[in-house]
Structure formats: structure tokens, C-alpha cells
Structure 1
Amino acid sequence: MKDLKEFQKTIGYEFRDESLLRQALTHSSYANEHHMKKLSDNERLEFLGDAVLEIVSSEFLYLNYTDLNEGKLSRLRASIVCEPTLAYICKEINLGDYVLLSKGEDMTGGRNRKSILSDAFEATIGAIFLDGGMEPASKYIHRFVLNDIEHKQLFYDSKTRLQEVVQANFKEALTYELLSESGPDHAKQFEVRAMVGSRTLGTGVGSTKKAAEQEAAYEGLMRLHKEDSIKII
């Protein structure tokens, strides 16, 4: 496991009780492999962090999107706090490098698995809340989650949006091709690419084909925006 001091510098919060952070980054597979005492993994902190994330994000959207009704606010919140979006955030802060995993989970790609990353991220929210209260937890959420809302919403709706962009700008149809399928049944990994004709727009990896397609679609949107100057938002 990398130095936790380095991670704290990255997220901009220094723990008074570093054991909380360590627990937030401890996956159940590691706790089981090392015969740690019951409830030593990050699942309880994830439960707490999820609740803090919901209240902070709900307040933010309520105050900043005054023209949206309850249904639209709920959909927007879902796009911001869904598993793929949180996992995407984790890549920005290299959270996967710090997660404690069993050898088996590590070898089968657990360090990049979206469910593990998103759970650990929510657990870090819970840990910060316990260590310093609502204010630093809220700052953490605002810094990494409640920014660039349009792109986070785009990531959530990437398959739908890419379909619209392709229909408006290309004669060929959008297709998804499965490139590989690996891993045991309980931890499958799919790699997919999004294509228009013979052109590859993007590739994605996920624990389901749908999740891999979503990532491929988002990468495709970014590429079309950059290479073809197509408006994507």
C-alpha cells in the first residue's frame, strides 16, 4: 500500500485519526485474507459516506438548479453519484493505488474495478465525516464530485448522447463490438469498443458489457469533440 500521507495531500485533507482512512481503503477481501477482526473493512464507512454524499449533493442541486423539479433533480443527482461516475473520479485521485486488496482480488483487476473504487470513495467520505465533521466532508465532495456537472451528466448519459451525435453527423450506424471477456464468473471484465463504420470512436472496460459500452461511448464523445469539433453538450 502506498503512503497514506501522499493520498491525503492529493485529496487536501489531513486525518487526525489515520486509522479511519486506512479502514476506508480496506476491502473485505483483504480483511478476510488477513483474518482481521469483524467489521474491520470499509463497508460500514461506505454506508455512512453514501448518506453524507446524498445530503450534500442534494443540497447543492436544490440551491443551484432552481428551475428543475423533483424528478429532474433526482435524475441529475443519480448521474453525479452513480458507480461509474464515482469510479471515474477515483482515477483522477489515483485512489485505486491505495486500496488494500487480497492477492487474488488484486491479481484479477480489483484495483480498477468500478464497484470497489466507488465503494472506497464513499468510505473515504464517511471517514472524513467522522474525523472532522460535515464541513471537511462537504468540501471533499464539492471538490471532487460537485464540479464539472455537465460532463458528469454526459458520462452518465453517454450512450444516449453518442447515438444522437452519430445519427446527426454520420451516415453509418453506431455499433459496439466486444473485444474481450476475462476473469472468473464473480468478477468478469468486459472490453468493448464503440464504432461508426470501421472507425473506432472509443474503448471501455467494465464488469458488465453495458458498463463497458458506457465508458466506450464517453471516450467516443470526447474524441469526436476533439478530432471532429462536434458539439457534444
Structure 2
Amino acid sequence: MSLVVVFDLALTYIFRENFGTNPDHARNSLTNCGIRQPEYGDRRIHYMNTRKRGINTLINIMSRFGRNLETESKITHNERLEFLGDAVVEFLTSIHLFHLFPNLEEGGLATYRAAIVQNQHLAVLAEKLGLDQFMLYAHGSDLCHDFELRHAMANCFEALMGAIFLDSGIEEADKVLSSTLFKGESVLHNIWVHYPSHPIQEQEPQGDRKWIKSFPILTVSHALS
């Protein structure tokens, strides 16, 4: 699979395999705009199966036409890349937090990491990159709801990180994540990128292997390893 295809898949949240008329258009209209309501009867019954989301939301979603391009992969969505990218984002975030807060216990680090990697925040990062303008998806009525759309954007950002990792490795993925996290905030970006060494590393910048010969128990352990 070429790298072009990999990045194409990263932007493919829900992809249609048949390229005919979209069957969801009528359902979108009914779901978001409803039908003309009669003036008689119990209004609770008439409105039971309709959601008044508004014509603006409908037009916004219906105008998001994806590119109908086939790919070489038989998998027409980004779920595998999303799985990989989720691990990449958590791994990189863990490294930076571990070094930036050497005295913070595990629970605090986990809380900070959760705040960064949660879908709501990843959707903000996707919006910073303008990924919603390049995503490929079918016009499902569920995407008319802002929550579902932002969840799709978060998944797309994770998939993009997975694609960058496959293309250029963990260092490039780190650069993209860091620059997106603190876009327009140079001071915070500099702190995040140039994190200090761990206290043990600062204490022993050349490593602590030199102490092996000084302690018999370490010498035996080293020989066994």
C-alpha cells in the first residue's frame, strides 16, 4: 500500500462503496427539518419521532461532499489507522508529561493525559488543522449532530497521527502533535518540546553502568543477563 493511500485512508471516516444517489438525503431532511405538522391533535404525538435540528445544520452537513475516489485497500475506512494513532498520541503525551512533571504521581499524570487525549480535545486539534474540510464520509443522519461530527473529527486526527507515524516515524509524529497542541503559543510550545531530563538522568548524564564493577550483586546480575 502506498503512502498516498495511507493518508487517504486517514481522512476516510465513513466511505460509500456505491457511488450512486445518496440514500440518506431524504432521511436527513426528515430527521433534521421534520415534516409539516398538522394543526390538530396531540402535538406530543406529532413531534415524537422528529428532531428539530434546523435547516442550517442540514445545509451544512449536506454541503460536505467527499471525494468519490477509490483506493487500493479493501478497507474503506480509517479504523485501523485510528487504532494505531490512538496509541501514538497517548505514547507521546505520556513521554512529555513524564518529563515535565517529575514529582507528580501516576494518578495526576493519568489525569493530565486523559485531558489531552480525550475525543473532545482531539476534535479541537483536528479543527486547528482543518481536517473537517478534507474528511471523506457518507452523509449519515447521525453526522448532523455536532457530537457525532466532532467524534468523527477526533477519530480522523488519531488516524492522521497513525499515518504520519507509518510515513515518517515517531519523531515526525511528535513534531506534528506538539505544533498542533500549542499552535500560536510559542512559549508553551517551547516548554513542551524542550522538556528537561529526568532527575536520574541529570544526576548520571553518562549513565550509571560504571557502578556495576563496584557492587558484587550488580556484577552477578549483569553477568546473568
What CA distance in whole angstroms lies between the structure 2 residues aligned with 1:107 and 1:70?
A: 37
Structure 1, residues 153-197: CA drift from partner, whole Å, max 9, x if none?
xxxxxxxxxxxxxxxxxxxxxxxxxxxxxxxxxxxxxxxxxxxxx
Alignment size in residue pairs: 133
Contact 2:13 2:136 in 1 (8 A): yes
Q: Does 1:18 align with 2:54?
A: no
Contact 2:123 2:153 in 1 (8 A): yes
CA–CA separation in structure 2 for the residues paired with 1:27 and 1:33: 16
Q: 1:100 matched to which residue of 2? A: 136
Q: Which runs of 5+ in 2 are unaligned?
A: 20-69, 189-225
Identity of aligned residues (%): 34
> Which protein shows a greater Rg?
2
User: Residue 20 of structure 1 aligns to which amino acid in structure 2?
Assistant: V
Map 1:149-188 onto structure 2 (within 5 A): none
State the distance in 2 between where 1:31 and 1:111 align: 21
Q: What is the distance in 2 between the residues matched to 1:126 and 1:105?
A: 27
**Structure-2 residue corresponding to 1:131:** 167
Counterpart contact for 1:57–1:146, Cα < 8 Å: no
Q: 1:31 to 1:65 in 2, by over 3 A?
A: farther
**Who is 1:141 aligned against?**
177
CA distance in 1, matches of 2:85, 2:176: 11
- Identify if the C-alpha distance between structure 1 residues 54 and 146 changes in structure 2 by more than 3 Å, giving closer, same or farther: farther
TM-score, normalisation: structure 2: 0.52
Whether the 8 Å CA contact 2:126–2:157 is kept in 1: the answer is yes
Aligned-residue RMSD, C-alpha: 2.9
Residues in 1 aligned to 2:7 and 2:170: alpha-carbon distance in whole angstroms: 16
Residue 88 (structure 1) aligned to one of 124, 129, 143: 124
Query: Corresponding residue for 1:54?
Result: 90
Residues 143 and 149 in structure 2, CA contact (< 8 A), matched pair in contact too: no
Match of 1:117 in 2: 153
Structure 1: unaligned runs, 5 residues or longer: 1-15, 152-233
Change (3 A) 1:51 1:137: same
Q: Which has the higher strand share?
A: 1
The normalised TM-score by structure 1 is: 0.51
